[in-house]
Structure 1
Amino acid sequence: MPRADLIVNLVRAGTQGDQRTFRSTVEAIAAEERAKRHTQLADRLEENLRQPAPSAKAAEVVRSFDGGHGGLLYEVEPRRGLTSMFLDIAVATPVRELVEEQQRAELLRSYGVEPRHRVLLEGPPGNGKTTLAEGIAFELMVPLFVVRYEAVVGSFLGETSGRLKRLFDFARTHQCVLFFDEFDTLGKERGDTHETGEIKRVVSSLLLQIDSLPSHVVVVTATNHAELLDRAVWRRFQLRLNLPAPTPAQRAAWFERFEETLGVPLGLSPKTLATRLPVQTFSDLEQFCEDVHRRYVLALPGADLKRILTERLSQWKERVGPTAADRP
């Protein structure tokens, strides 16, 4: 919404005592100022918005991100961009389009169109769902807020829905990426006869909150069990992406990059390593290379990288079993 319209709405809401419109307008102005890196002004606006009205109880606003004192979120500083990931074209293209839409949101809004901002990621664990959420936040230069389920899910009737509302109330005042890992924890199928009425109410509350999020909040959800999600969850998301296990070509490209990072020949070709290493996830690839890197550094200055790689391959084969290439 143009700044002039926001100011008009603010004055109208103030004179008419419309607290709901007043709060949403101030939240929109604060988010706009934060997007411009006017963080002090945005903080002051939000701080004053949290002041209690006369004879009213102060609203509880979640500010703890470090996992302590009952905070519903914790903040992760994005350190890895999309270029650090090995993404299929079917994933990389729509994600980069979403980033472009967010970066050029004002142009879209001038034509009456909002950028996409709801993403559902599915696939086996260890293949980059969390890293992709971090990559989106990195590209947009915004904080990544991760939901803490142990703080959100309560044991009393209505407690979880109330905490979810507070969580979303906080998120909508920031330009950010809001990440729900293991989304099936909250978004379970409401038709499941084994679930209680409370879970069904939580899912309904969650869907309503997602629908009401402004487009400057990019909500990314991830699940290893897409079949458990409520059917109504799927249509809430404008991007529904599958992150599969790494292909042989991606594994080889991973080792090519690792060789460039070390700055010395590996002694074995990336293709050979990709074939002989018995792993099926990007997470395991990363751990293997970190393992090799540690042993290489500790063996300097006379490190034999080929020998180190051979030893590590033997250890990892014992850990997860032989590859198809090693079987007779």
Structure 2
Amino acid sequence: MARSDLLLAIVRSGAQGDELAFRRAAEALIAEEEGKRHGVLASQLAEALTAKRPISNIASIARNEAVAGLLYERVPERRLTSLVLTASVRQSVGELLEEHHRRDLLRSYGVEPRHRVMLVGPPGGGKTSLAEAFATELAVPLLTVRYEGLIGSYLGETASRMEQLFETVRMRPCVLFFDEFDTVAKERGDTHETGEIKRVVSSLLLQVDRLPSHVVVIAATNHPELLDRAVWRRMQLRLALPQPTRAAKVEWLSSWAERNKVSLGLSPRTISDRLGDVSFAELEEFALDVQRRQILNGPEPDSNQVAQRVLEHWSHRVDTEAS
């Protein structure tokens, strides 16, 4: 049985002729049925909501194939506990998750949980990992926008594809992830940008505004200075993920070794100091390198020797990149 508050919202908005409120309530109802694994009912409701004219099977198949080229979908696995976050970021993330886990209480007061998040930080700082952890904790799929499929070369093509993308995701609970968000949300006041880009940004902002709260939009960028100012106003939660400190790297290495039951051969402090200025993504690459070499060296590898050898390779790699 559907929740009474959603049914009441549907009837009330329909009676008042408020199409946007009606669609949001109907989409929330569809998302709830999806969450209960009532797939047949959810599909019937979605078809009823979007049925404006008959669509042939050929057209339907073509539309689904087009949408598949706009999104990369996967089941998230990374947990929030596996991430090393600052105290303020962890608190903010916890509060946002609580809002979604207790959304029924919020909605009983006519309030929706926040669902638009901006992540800012250098490459490899954990933005993508945090987006995946959000999806894991909410038990929803992670949908990553594929810019190579979204951005077209013809006038109006990108905005049209963007509308199609948002129309597809709005009726299912998910985390919609825009990596390198500045690709499609650049400052419209930039005189070097074309009118097409400005139209794309305007369309993007309109579509984000229309999304229901069961679609959590997470945007990530390494270049916040390039984003349109109106983008910042849309984002209800803005989190900074800085380059990891020495203490954060030590904590990450210790946590990774414990979770994966792998001896790194050297203390996390020693490894952190030897690696120098690296990101969390690079730390994970290093740890996986050590694990691979230990597996290939037989059942009883010399962990210290393996770690020293991998560190030597990494030292050469860092020197090469820096030169």
TM-score by length of 1: 0.87
Inter-partner Cα distance in structure 1 for 2:261 and 2:68: 45
* Alignment equivalent of 1:238, drawn from 236, 239, 260: 236
Matching residue's letter, 1:207: L
Map of 2:95 onto structure 1: 97
- The corresponding residue for 1:2 is 5
Match of 2:121 in 1: 123
Indicate the residue corresponding to 1:299 in structure 2. 297
Question: In structure 1, what is the equivalent of residue 41 of structure 2?
Answer: 41
Shift of the alpha carbon at 1:225?
A: 0.7
Q: Does the Cα contact within 8 Å between 1:61 and 1:170 map onto a contact in 2?
A: no
Residue 10 of structure 1: CA displacement?
8.6
Partner of 1:107: 105
How far did 1:257 drift?
2.4
Instruction: Tell me how large the CA RMSD over aligned residues is.
Output: 2.8
- Structure 1: 4+ residue segments shifted above 6 A: 18-22, 55-61
What residue number does 1:197 align with?
195
Q: Which moved more, 1:38-47 or 1:121-130?
A: 38-47
How far the C-alpha of 1:300 sits from its partner, in A, is 1.9
Q: CA deviation at 1:21?
A: 7.3
C-alpha distance in 1, partners of 2:136/2:23? 29
For residues 79-113 of structure 1, give each alpha carbon's deviation from its aligned partner in whole angstroms, at most 9, with x where no partner exists: 01111111111211111111110111110111122
CA contact (8 A) 1:278 1:316 kept: no
Are the counterparts in 2 of residues 10 and 26 from structure 1 also a CA contact under 8 Å? no
Contact persistence 1:62–1:71 (CA under 8 A): no
What is the 5 A alignment of 1:126-141? 126-141=124-139
For residues 262 and 100 of structure 2, the distance between their equivalents in structure 1, rounded to whole angstroms, comes to 40
The residue aligned with 1:71 is 69
- Going from structure 1 to structure 2, the CA distance change for 1:261 and 1:175 (only over 3 Å counts) comes to closer
SS at match of 1:2: helix
Residue 326 of structure 1: aligned partner:
none
Counterpart amino acid of residue 191 in structure 2: T
Q: Please list every run of 5 or more consecutive structure 2 residues that lacks an aligned counterpart in the other structure.
A: none
> How far apart, in 2, do the equivalents of 1:102 and 1:262 lie?
30
Q: Deviations over 1:267-298 (max 9, x none)?
A: 42221111112342001000000000000011
Structure 1 unaligned segments of length 5 or more: list them.
323-328
Give 1:35's aligned amino acid.
G
For 1:211 and 1:312, how far apart are their aligned partners in 2? 48
| Deviation, structure 1 residue 302 | 3.0
In structure 2, the residue matched to 1:150 is 148
TM-score, with normalisation over the residues of structure 2? 0.88
- What is the CA-CA distance between 1:29 and the residue it aligns to? 2.1
Greater helix proportion? 2
Quote how far apart the aligned CAs of 1:264 are. Answer: 6.1
